[in-house]
Amino acid sequence: MLPGRSATHDGQPVCADCAGITQDYHCSGCGTETEHYRQNTCARCSLRNDLTALLRVDDSKGTETTAAKLLAALCGADRPESILTWLRSTGVRELLERVAIGDVPLSHEALDKEANSLRVEHMRSLFTHHKLLPVRDHYLALFERWLSSKLDGVDDPEVRRPVESFSRWHHLRRIRSLSTDGKPSRGPVHSAKQEITETIKFLTWLKLTHGRTIISCVQADVDAWLADGPTTRHRIRTFFVWATKNRTCTNITIGHRQARTVPLLTQGERLAMLKACLTDNVDTLSYRVAATLLLLYAQPVVKIAAMKSTDVIITPDGLRLSLGHGDPAPVPEPFAALITEHLASRPNLRTGSSSGSPWLFPGYRAGQHLHPNTLMEQLRDIGINLRGARNASLRNLVKEVPAPLVAEMLGYSYQVTQKHAAAAAEPWSRYMPATTEY
């Protein structure tokens, strides 16, 4: 600790003895020389004292009790001051105490039964980060709870039955598979909720207006529904594709809805934004890196937010990024230097004891990555049109590299990159990937 200033060396920080300070800064609890937080004790010792009393820790019962595990985890925070601030909330203290004494079991299922709140989710994140709870897919868990509540609100069995089958056998099974494979589930969950909601609306309307069910539905019913409402109604298409496959309803056809316009930056606009992100202080380092991933590699913001630090690969030839299922993408300078600097100083690593975070962009909640919405808002604030930037980047890439290779390297489907190649009128769109199976 250097509490004083040198009188002879341009005010450089010096220790208490050199500064002539007589006050003793040693903690009465651990003996560390540091700033006192309360009554001659440091913040960490103050935290331990508070938690020992709150959690009713009994040292005679060993270190494997729930209370002892909570004490060790929370006292191990990089910034004990942040935990002390968190504990000022009456609700936080009450819930911690209930968990410690066993009124609320230390499990995800028990926390799910508590009133949904930021307090509960933050506590869950801390417990998961410190391995007091197993890791689980946050969005999958929310979807499972949402689905049960949504289905409970459907009274007509002739509406609920097909919706429940569609929801569980198509969407829930698919999202669970994605989660098991370690792939992001936020986007699929959002899409599934929209499709399920629109399907319920359609089947309810079909029954009330025409007295028909999915089995007796005719093409004219679907056409009338789609023609007389917002474009979100088109999301019933997935339901009818599923119904056709399982032969519940085989006489309905709904085509793909084509976007009327495709947002697209000019190459000049894209390059100007890239220059600002790479060479100017348009925002903090982390957001400049995120913006460049969008502008240079056409990565969706949701995917950028969920990238891990291990996706940055150091090779003898320089940095590479693991973005798709093909070879890692090369990282040119000066972006490589920017990523290296970001890795050495990632933000939020001390918030809620997030040291050792696997995420390239750690979030404010322990153990979680930055929320995509936060990233979207920040990129918009610095003037980036998200869809326009991604489309422009992808359109430019397929002009330089065969579309199938772009798909493999960046994690896109062949259909998406072929579409952009065709729009750019490039002969590469007809290139056949070597990995195509017949």
**Cβ neighbours for 437, distance < 8 A, ≥ 6 positions apart:** none
The string of pLDDT tens digits covering residues 342-367 is 998 887 765 454 456 789 998 887 77
> For 132-160, what is the mean pLDDT?
94
The distance of Cα 103 from the centroid of its chain, to the nearest Å, equals 31
What are the C-alpha distances in Å from 274 to residues 269, 384, 385? 9, 10, 13
159-179 mean pLDDT = 96
Closest to 297 (Cα-Cα) out of 384, 406, 370, 386: 406
User: What residues are paired with 33 via a beta bridge?
Assistant: 26
Does residue 9 surpass a pLDDT of 70?
no
**Dihedral (CA of 328, 332, 336, 339) sign:** negative
Mean pLDDT of the chain: 87
Q: Of 100, 95, 92, 109, give the one whose Cα is nearest residue 66.
A: 100
- In a 13 Å sphere around the CA of 342, the CA atoms on its Cβ side amount to 25
Question: Average pLDDT for residues 34-60, to the nearest whole number?
Answer: 91
Which tokens in the block code for residue 31? 């003996």
Amino acid at 39: Q
- Is 347 within 8 Å of 290 (Cβ atoms)? no
Q: Is the pLDDT of residue 324 over 70?
A: yes
Question: What are 4's two structure tokens?
Answer: 């004083």
What is the model's pLDDT at position 435?
46
Say what the pLDDT of residue 19 is. Answer: 61
In this model, does residue 424 exceed pLDDT 90? no
State the average pLDDT over residues 29-37. Answer: 87
Asked whether the beta carbons of 38 and 22 are under 8 A apart, the reply is no
pLDDT > 50? residue 341: yes
- pLDDT score recorded for residue 325: 84
Cα four-point dihedral sign 155, 157, 158, 161: positive
> Which of 105-119, 199-213, 231-245 shows the lowest mean pLDDT across its residues?
105-119
Please check whether residue 286 is in contact with residue 361, taking contact to mean a CB–CB distance below 8 angstroms: yes
* pLDDT above 60 (res 434): no
Structural contact between residues 289 and 336, judged by C-beta atoms closer than 8 angstroms = no
Return the structure tokens found at 38.
């309360």
pLDDT at residue number 382:
83
Mean per-residue pLDDT for 290-317? 92
The two structure tokens encoding residue 216:
């007796």
Beta-carbon contacts of residue 193 (< 8 Å; ≥ 6 apart) = 143, 146
Task: Taking residues 230-252, report their average pLDDT.
Answer: 94
Encode pLDDT of 50-59 as tens digits: 999 999 998 8
**Residue in this structure with the two tokens 């000066």, named with its chain if needed:** 334
So where are the chain's domains?
Answer: 1-25, 36-129, 138-245, 267-430
CATH topology of domain 267-430: hpI Integrase; Chain A (1.10.443)
Q: Tell me what pLDDT residue 349 has.
A: 65
Alpha-carbon span 89 to 164, nearest angstrom: 40
The tens digit of pLDDT for each residue in 286-297 reads 999 999 999 999
pLDDT higher than 70, residue 208: yes
Is the predicted pLDDT of residue 227 greater than 70, yes or no?
A: yes
Question: Taking a C-beta distance cutoff of 8 angstroms, is the pair 379, 294 a contact?
Answer: yes
Rounded-to-integer distance, Cα 141 and Cα 108, Å: 10
Q: Is the pLDDT of residue 81 over 80?
A: yes
- ∠54-26-3 over CA atoms, to 5°? 115
Question: Residue 401 has what pLDDT?
Answer: 86
